[in-house]
A and B are shown apart, each in its own frame.
Chain A
């Protein structure tokens, strides 16, 4: 451990944001990226929920990593994740009911999100709590950024709104502009994720 912001710790946080992004580089968590991004708001909430859960699951697993019996370590990880997800879901129902209705089944899907299990198995089982926390936050935010980009594009082109506020002027509709209904379908978000991956690779290859 030593220093809180040593080079390794900074890297654990910043790598997933760009060069080791869980969605566009490791291609994990695609399922939920398709499901919740038809509007921006659920995308943001989903991104933040995953960030919080990845971070805390990482910390918990990291704290108990030396006690976990090797043969049931995946089960232990799953129980920790499932318990955290259930708590988040209950809290959303109590404090942000509309959002929980919109996310409905996808909150449960966080449990099966590959990013979570991947980080627990690959990072938290070998590293200390603080580094694991940063790694969880980094990966969660790396996932959230992509969700927000996809959610923004889909809501803008699909419904002409951003966060529920109309941004495409009425004058444009009168001139014959139409919302693209395809954008509200999950298939289009796959294409948008593809475009994001394209842009990301092109940018990083140039460097």
Chain B
């Protein structure tokens, strides 16, 4: 056969492409459920990491998430609840980042050792690509309980260090607001911390990534200001009220 003729070449190319396309489609659809499960477990471990629960075995993550998270309500900017999320991983957990707006804001409510914590997902832009993270707030929403953040493609060894737990630990206990009611919590250039209460030390040699993290944290939390204020007011009105799991969910419904 003349393998150099035009007809042969065109037919050969077409048949090859069709075979490869079927093969790839088959593999992709066959493995999809397992890949989705992996992504979900990874997301759960990130949320747990923001609550300072780290280094879990893969098999423990599902159970721990179930034990710690009490619900994942979708809320509006003013704090009103759109979807209660009692199933823990069917509301905020599956909310696509493209669907997030003032009417659809994801939130996770957790109960760590009897205390209610609110986990707020944030997203932003670093130097080379996207950033995302979870900020866990204490019950009165005035201070940070824990944080987790990660990145798509920051510089290895510099900006990429923002995934390290020692960086996340720098957020612990920081306060969110000064008197004017705007989010004062920020990340500053490495070594330039002036006010320990509100400023987190940035990453050495990664100023632009640090700026991205600062913008992500500030803008991300600012969006939740309505919700945060309602929690703070509730907390001040009844400071002694012990918050059990069920109450934590009921409160957000009000």
Interface residue ranges, A against B (CB under 8 Å):
38, 66-72, 75-76, 79, 83, 86-87, 90-91, 93-95, 97, 101, 104-105, 181, 184-186
Knowing A79-B16, A91-B31 are in contact, say whether A71-B4 is a contact too (CB < 8 A).
yes
Q: Considering only CB atoms, which chain A residue lies closest to B19 in the complex?
A: A83
Q: Using CB atoms, name the residue of chain B closest to A66.
A: B3
Q: Is B156's beta carbon under 8 Å from chain A?
A: yes
Give a binary string over B22-38; 1 marks a CB under 8 Å from any A CB, 0 the rest. 01100110010011001
Q: Interface size on B (CB < 8 Å)?
A: 23
Closest to B1 in A: A67
Main secondary structure of the interface of A (DSSP, over half): helix
Q: How many Å from the CB of B201 to the closest CB on chain A?
A: 17
B28 and A90 within 8 A (CB): yes
**Known interface pairs A69-B12, A79-B20, A83-B23. Does A93 touch B38 (Cβ–Cβ under 8 Å)?**
yes
Sampled A-B contacts (16; CB under 8 Å):
A38-B156, A38-B157, A66-B3, A67-B12, A68-B12, A69-B9, A72-B12, A87-B24, A90-B31, A90-B35, A93-B38, A94-B31, A94-B38, A97-B39, A101-B42, A185-B156
Knowing that A79-B20, A90-B27, A94-B31 touch, tell me 6 more A-B residue pairs with CB under 8 angstroms. A38-B156, A69-B12, A83-B20, A83-B23, A93-B31, A93-B38
Contacts of A71 in B (CB 8 A): 4, 9
Are A76's CB and B16's CB within 8 A? Answer: yes
- A79–B20 alpha-carbon span in the complex (Å): 8
Q: How far is the CB of B45 from chain A (nearest CB, A)?
A: 10
Chain B interface (Cβ < 8 Å from any Cβ of A): 3-4, 8-9, 12-13, 16-17, 20, 23-24, 27-28, 31, 34-35, 38-39, 41-42, 153, 156-157
Residues of A within 8 A of B28 (CB): 90
- The answer to whether A72 touches B157, judged by C-beta atoms less than 8 angstroms apart, is no
Out of A69, A75, A184, which one reaches B157, CB within 8 Å?
A184
Q: How far does the alpha carbon of A83 sit from the alpha carbon of B8 in the complex, in Å?
A: 22
Q: How far is the CA of A97 from the CA of B16 in the complex (A)?
A: 30
Minimum CB–CB distance for A33 against chain B, Å: 14
In the assembled complex, which residues on chain A have CB atoms less than 8 Å from the CB atom of B3? Answer: 66-70
Please, how many angstroms separate the alpha-carbon atoms of A91 and B32 in the complex? 10
Please determine whether B35 and A72 come into contact, CB atoms closer than 8 angstroms: no
